[in-house]
C-alpha cells in the first residue's frame, strides 16, 4: 500500500510542477473574472515598478562593476574570448539574484495587498461549503503592518532554512564539474521552493496554521511549490505583466491551494 502511494506521488509530481509553473499565467484570466479585482492591482503595480526597477539598477550599479572587475584582464585573444563568454553569464546571474531580492522585498512590502487579493480570489473560487472559512472583511489599513510583520517573520525563518540547506550541500562542489552543476541545481530549486512557499502562506495563514505546520503542508506539495516559484520567476521577465508577478502568483497560489492542498489539509 505504501509503495503504491509512493508511486502515485511520483506520477503526480510532473503534473503538480507544470500546474505550479502555469498558475501565475492562468491567474491573468482568473483575475479578469473576479468582480472589482482590477482596481486592487493598481497600487501594487506602480509599487512593483519602483521595486523591480530599483533593485535591478542598484544590483547592476553597485555589484555589476565589481563582478566585471573579477574578469581576467589582458589583450590576449583567449582572455578576450573568456570575457566574451563569462560576461553574459555574470549578467544573467546578477539579474537572477536581483529578481530573488526583489521577490523578498516585494513580498514584504506588498503583503497587505496580496493578502487581500488572495482572500478575494479565494472567496470567488471557493465552493459554498468552504466559504465560511474566508473572512468577508475588506482591505483594512489597521492590519497593514501586522501583515508586513508576519511575512517578514516568515521570510527570516525561510531564509535561515535556505542558508542552512545551501551550507549542507556545499560539499557537492568538491566533485569536479558534476558536483558544481548539482549544487547549482539544488540551490536554484531551494530558492524556487522558497518563493512558492511565500504565496501559499496567504491561504494557510487564513487557516491559522503555525509556521512549522505551514512548512509541513507546503513540503508535502513540494513540486507544486517549486513550479509556482518558477512560474513567478518566469512571469517577472514578461514586459508590463511582470510588474504584477507577485499579485498574479498570489492568485495562482489560491487556485493551486484549493485544488491540491485544501481537500487533504485536515491530514496535517
227-237 residue pLDDT tens = 999 999 999 88
Q: What is the 3-state secondary structure (H, E, C) of the chain?
A: CHHHHHHHHHHHHHHHHHHHHHHHHHHHHHHHHCCCCHHHHHHHHHHHHHHHHHHHHHHHHHHHHHHHHCCCCCCCHHHHHHHHHHHHHHHHHHHHHHHHHHHHHHHHHCHHHHHHHHHHHHHHHCCHHHHHHCCCCCCCHHHHHHHHHHHHHHHHHHHHHHHHHHHHCHHHHHCCCHHHHHHHHHHHHHHHHHHHHHHHHHHHHCCCCCHHHHHHHHHHCHHHHHHHHHHHHHHCCCCCHHHHHHHHHHHHHHHHHHHHHHHHHHHC
- Greater confidence (174 vs 26) lies with 26
Mean pLDDT to the nearest integer, 88-110: 74
Q: What pLDDT digit, counting tens, does each position of 245-256 carry?
A: 999 999 999 999
Q: What percent of the chain has pLDDT over 70?
A: 73
- pLDDT value at position 105? 82
Mean pLDDT to the nearest integer, 97-114: 80
CA angle 117, 121, 125 (to 5 degrees): 170
- pLDDT value at position 10? 41
125-129, 179-183, 187-191: least confident range: 125-129
Q: Which three cell numbers, joined as nine digits, stand for 67? A: 563582478
Q: What is the mean pLDDT of the chain?
A: 79
- pLDDT value at position 12? 64
pLDDT band, very low/low/confident/very high, at 43 (cuts 50, 70, 90): confident
pLDDT band, very low/low/confident/very high, at 103 (cuts 50, 70, 90): confident
Q: What pLDDT digit, counting tens, does each position of 135-149 carry?
A: 444 545 556 677 677
Closest by CA to 258, choosing from 122, 146, 124, is: 122
What is this structure's pTM?
0.78
d(CA 50, CA 31): 23
Question: Is residue 224 predicted with pLDDT exceeding 90?
Answer: yes
- pLDDT value at position 115? 87
Count CB-CB contacts under 10 A for residue 24: 32
Question: Is residue 120 predicted with pLDDT exceeding 80?
Answer: yes
Question: Is residue 9 predicted with pLDDT exceeding 50?
Answer: no
110-124, 192-206, 221-235, 239-253: least confident range: 110-124
CB 123, CB 136: distance < 8 Å: yes
Amino acid at each position: 500500500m505504501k509503495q503504491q502511494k509512493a508511486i502515485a506521488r511520483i506520477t503526480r509530481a510532473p503534473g503538480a510542477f507544470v500546474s505550479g509553473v502555469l498558475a501565475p499565467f492562468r491567474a491573468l484570466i482568473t483575475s479578469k473574472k473576479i468582480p472589482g479585482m482590477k482596481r486592487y492591482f493598481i497600487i501594487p503595480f506602480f509599487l512593483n515598478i519602483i521595486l523591480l526597477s530599483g533593485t535591478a539598477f542598484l544590483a547592476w550599479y553597485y555589484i555589476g562593476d565589481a563582478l566585471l572587475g573579477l574578469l581576467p584582464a589582458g589583450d590576449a585573444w583567449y582572455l578576450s574570448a573568456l570575457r566574451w563568454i563569462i560576461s553574459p553569464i555574470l549578467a544573467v546571474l546578477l539579474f537572477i539574484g536581483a529578481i530573488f531580492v526583489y521577490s523578498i522585498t516585494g513580498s514584504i512590502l506588498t503583503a497587505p495587498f496580496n493578502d487581500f487579493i488572495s482572500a478575494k480570489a479565494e472567496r470567488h473560487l471557493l465552493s459554498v461549503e468552504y466559504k465560511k472559512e474566508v473572512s468577508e472583511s475588506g482591505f483594512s489599513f489597521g492590519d497593514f503592518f501586522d501583515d508586513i510583520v508576519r511575512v517578514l517573520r516568515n521570510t527570516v525563518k525561510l531564509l535561515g532554512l535556505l542558508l542552512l540547506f545551501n551550507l549542507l550541500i556545499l560539499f557537492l562542489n568538491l566533485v569536479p564539474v558534476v558536483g558544481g552543476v548539482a549544487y547549482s541545481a539544488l540551490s536554484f530549486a531551494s530558492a524556487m521552493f522558497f518563493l512558492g512557499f511565500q504565496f501559499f502562506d496567504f491561504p494557510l495563514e487564513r487557516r491559522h496554521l503555525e509556521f512549522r505546520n505551514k512548512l509541513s503542508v507546503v513540503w508535502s506539495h513540494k513540486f507544486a511549490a517549486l513550479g509556482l516559484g518558477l512560474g513567478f520567476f518566469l512571469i517577472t521577465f514578461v514586459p508590463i505583466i511582470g510588474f504584477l508577478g507577485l499579485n498574479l502568483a498570489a492568485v495562482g497560489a489560491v487556485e493551486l491551494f484549493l485544488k491540491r492542498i485544501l481537500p487533504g489539509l485536515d491530514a496535517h
